[in-house]
Amino acid sequence: MHATEKLAAALAQYDGVVAKVVDFDAVADKLYSLDLTAANTELDPDMVADTAAFSQYIDRKLAENNCRYAIGGYMEHRTIYARSAHFDTEDEPRRLHLGIDIWGDAGTAIYAPLDGTVHSFQDNDNFGDYGPTIILEHNVAGLKLYSLYGHLSRTSLSGLAEGQTISVGQQVATLGDADENGHWPPHLHFQLMLNIGDAKGDYPGVGKYSEKGKLLANIPNPGLLLQMGDIIKA
């Protein structure tokens, strides 16, 4: 059974509340589906390598389509990771995106979708990396679940402690800008995991395409928790 199926089954038995991750009005807010695969010929390597130009491209798409957020990415095979050596390995470069990205303004509030505790946090300060990152731990009808929030502001890490109780709907972070979020256009990388081993404050958000089957067994589709319409429920 894939991780998405396990989480869906647990949520069907869950008697708690699932809250929004970002402010979103299903009636008033539109979502732009952002394709970051090779099929998007508007994006060339030079633009993606230039954080300012990449940010301008996303801002333009949001404005042209009258959208508050751009979204997408779960199990998307992305060529854009060639912009950073962080994703290169000797045998096979990592290009398979494991979470869902929500692209919006720096400073956008991020909320906990479930009751939980702070598992870990750290600033992954490398070009192309997560920047400030928070991992929460949850219990969904007996299923242990971890949620990861990457590309945050540095102030999001202030005052946190491992084991700290987090309530559903509580604001846990804000989006960082390119100077602090790993040098990306402002966005949230939201990812779920069933098992993270001994990882602390970091967990791969991009994997090898050849290992997709193994990754699907551990990493559920975050669209199950994001209350943002069918566009992200793969």
Establish how many alpha carbons lie within 13 A of residue 17's alpha carbon, considering only the half-sphere containing its beta carbon: 10
Q: What pLDDT is attached to residue 233?
A: 44
Per-residue pLDDT at 77: 83
pLDDT in the model for residue 234: 42
pTM: 0.92
Q: How confident is the model at residue 92 (pLDDT cuts 50, 70, 90)?
A: low
Q: How many CB atoms lie within 10 A of CB 233?
A: 13
Residues whose CB falls within 8 Å of the CB of residue 227, separated by 6 or more in sequence, listed in order: 18, 20, 24, 26
Nearest CA to 59 out of 41, 21, 99, 32 is that of 32
Residue 83 pLDDT > 60, yes or no? no
What does the pLDDT read at residue 229?
A: 66
Token pair belonging to 5: 């199926």
How far, in Å, CA of 51 to CA of 49, rounded?
A: 6
Mean pLDDT throughout 3-18? Answer: 95
Answer yes or no: are the C-beta atoms of 99 and 205 closer than 8 Å.
Answer: yes
Those residues with Cβ within 8 angstroms of residue 124's Cβ, 6 or more apart along the chain or in another chain: 130, 131, 132, 133, 150, 182, 201, 202
Whether the predicted pLDDT of 200 surpasses 60: yes
Q: Which residues of 139-162 are buried (b: 16+ CB within 10 A; e: fewer)?
A: ebeebebbbbbbbbbeebbeeeee
Q: Where are the domains of the chain?
A: 3-229
Contact 207, 96 (CB under 8 A): yes
- For residue 87, the model assigns a pLDDT of 45
Cβ contact 177:124 at 8 Å: no
Per-residue pLDDT at 84? 46
**Average model confidence (pLDDT) for the chain?**
89
129-183 per-position pLDDT tens digit: 899 999 999 999 999 999 999 999 999 999 999 999 999 999 999 999 999 998 8
pLDDT average, residue stretch 189-214: 94
CA angle (197, 202, 199) in 5-degree steps: 20
Residue 197 banded pLDDT, cuts 50, 70, 90:
very high
Q: Which residues contact 121 (CB under 8 A, 6 or more apart)?
A: 132, 133, 134, 135, 157, 160, 162, 201
pLDDT tens-digit readout, 24-40: 988 888 899 988 888 88
Q: Who has greater pLDDT, 17 or 94? A: 17
* pLDDT computed for residue 81 by the predictor: 55
Tens digits of per-residue pLDDT, 35-60?
A: 888 888 888 878 878 889 989 999 99
CA–CA distance, 176 with 171 (Å, rounded to integer): 15
Chain centroid to CA 178: 16
Is residue 145 within 8 A of residue 203, CB to CB? The reply is no
State mean pLDDT over 103-107: 95
234 vs 152, higher pLDDT = 152
Residue 115 has pLDDT above 70, yes or no: yes
What pLDDT is recorded for position 3?
96
pLDDT score, position 91: 65
> Maximum CA pair distance of the chain?
49
Please, what CATH class does the domain formed by 3-229 belong to?
mainly beta
- pLDDT reported for residue 210: 85
